[in-house]
Amino acid sequence: MNYSLTSFFGEKPKGITSRVKTQGLYFLHLIREFPILERSMKIKVAATFLPLTIFLLFFTALAVKSSHEPPLLSPLSSPGKSEVAVTHLVTDPQTSPFQKIVGRVLGFKALKAKPKRLQYEVFGYLPYWSFDKLQYLRLDLLSTIAYFALEIDPQTGDFLKSGAYWNNWNGQDMKDLIERAKEEKTNVVVTVKLFENTPIEQFLACGKCRQNSINQTLKEIQEKGASGVNVDFEYFGTPPKDTVIKYAQFMRDLTDVIHKEVKGSTTSMAVYATSAREERIHNVELVGSFIDYVFIMGYDFFRPSSTNAGPIAPLFGVEKYGYDLQTSVEDFLQKMPAEKIVLGVPYYGYDWPVEGQGQNAKVIDFNDQNGGIGLLYFDRVPEVEKNNKVTLSWDFKAEVPYYSYYDTDKKVWRQVYYENERSLREKYDFIRSKKIRGVGLWALGFDGSRPELWDLLEEKFTRL
């Protein structure tokens, strides 16, 4: 009985594709070309190589299967839509030591791990004061960086060309960042802003000012090689109807110009969490119909002026806190499609002087005697917790952490509400469950050099 390898495969090994041969089994076919080897390979040799052959067949089958695995559908994808608006970012492919060894032993090119790609929009505001943190940005995990911000002169429509706002936008660091972003296929947009009611009304009432602002915005985008514009007009309370109409016209004209003149550009606007429910300047149903997406400022539910300490961004708890992120997103979904909604989350918290250590304690006067309201960026959380020897508590209604501590210097209790990995994980899971466009970050740099929040973004919003 002939136990040579040829007898196992016959004259022409059947069922073995050229692809399989090139991935490690082709050497079996070559043995047939050498009679001496074939005559000597009896049952002992075959028995020696048979386990390796089985292993290689199994290994190859897995590789072929994984290469045909259906991709995760992005919430931006829909039937009949040829392109997805989110830029899919690719990390550097890595090769494991095991793959390198297998490649060397079997004589074929080392297998490359598939790169991870963003499946959702990850939009990050980059404030002008965070430029000392640029080295920590993970551009592979950002689809859009929005420089914050260029400020409009309400009397002319020009940008205010002085101070850090303007200087950082025109500095070398910004130029270098845009070049890095292009390499990573990350969009960079500029945010144009105008705050407070009177300046906003004054600007919108001036048609010449509005047109000048549009022209100046286009000029800055084209000169810097940016990808679009984000508009942040923060008008407090209910505006006059005429102001709402003029804001919508400004956004319509701006969008038409930017889309026409800048290929592949996007226009977006920042909106309050309540803008889909209350009368606000943004008119999200109308303006949302022609801009690319909205950025819901899903934070500052409780702020320095609040009478009690409370969650900055409660995911749930509408029955206790009056409003929450879940309700906000559901309101927006009544006004616009899911692919136009980005939910912004905070990378910060507040530290209030309060009457006692109970949950949602009443805020006391902040002054020299009691101390002020502290703004706590995420990168300082471990330091503050350690220095004050706090016991972390959890608000099960809002799904956020908080803690109380006694200020021995001022002789007052203080209470801190903020976000951590656990609370942000809950929000990211909620975003995925609603299949909205993605997540927004206020703001880049607030996490300093800490990697935890980048790791969480990678876990929740990318896939091989």
Rounded to the nearest 5 degrees, what angle is found at the Cα of 90, between the Cα atoms of 85 and 96? 155
Neighbouring-strand partners of residue 188? 145
Domains of the chain: 5-106 (no CATH), 117-463 (3.20.20.80)
User: What Cα–Cα distance (Å) separates residue 215 from each residue in 156, 161, 168, 259, 292?
Assistant: 12, 15, 21, 13, 20
Please state, in angstroms and rounded to a whole number, the distance separating the CA atoms of residues 112 and 99: 8
Q: If you average pLDDT over every residue of the chain, what do you get?
A: 83
Q: 267: which 2 tokens?
A: 């226009």
| Phi and psi angles of residue 129, each rounded to the nearest 5 degrees, phi first | -85, 0
CA trace torsion 359, 363, 364, 368 (10° rounding): 110
Query: Is the CA virtual torsion 233, 304, 274, 423 positive or negative?
Result: positive
Beta strands in 15-127 (DSSP E): 117-118, 121-127
Interval 327-349: pLDDT, tens: 999 999 999 999 999 999 999 99
Whole-structure pTM value: 0.78
Residue 220 has a pLDDT of 98
Per the omega criterion (within 30 degrees of 0), is the bond before 149 cis? yes
Mean pLDDT along residues 128-138: 98
Q: Is residue 216 a contact partner of residue 169, using CB atoms and an 8 Å limit?
A: no
Which tokens in the block code for residue 191? Answer: 């945010």
- pLDDT digits over 165-197, tens only? 999 999 999 999 999 999 999 999 999 999 999
Sheet of 348-354: strands edge to edge? 374-377, 348-354, 412-417, 400-407, 393-395
Q: Could you give the residue ranges of the DSSP H alpha helices within 155-295? A: 163-169, 172-184, 197-204, 207-224, 241-261, 284-287
Tell me the pLDDT tens digit for each residue of 388-441. Answer: 788 899 999 999 999 999 999 999 999 999 999 999 999 999 999 999 999 999
The arithmetic mean of pLDDT across residues 4-23, rounded, is 39
Question: Scanning the structure block, which residue is given the tokens 């000392």?
Answer: 132
- On the question of pLDDT at 54 being above 60, the answer is no
Say if residues 453 and 384 touch (Cβ distance below 8 Å): no
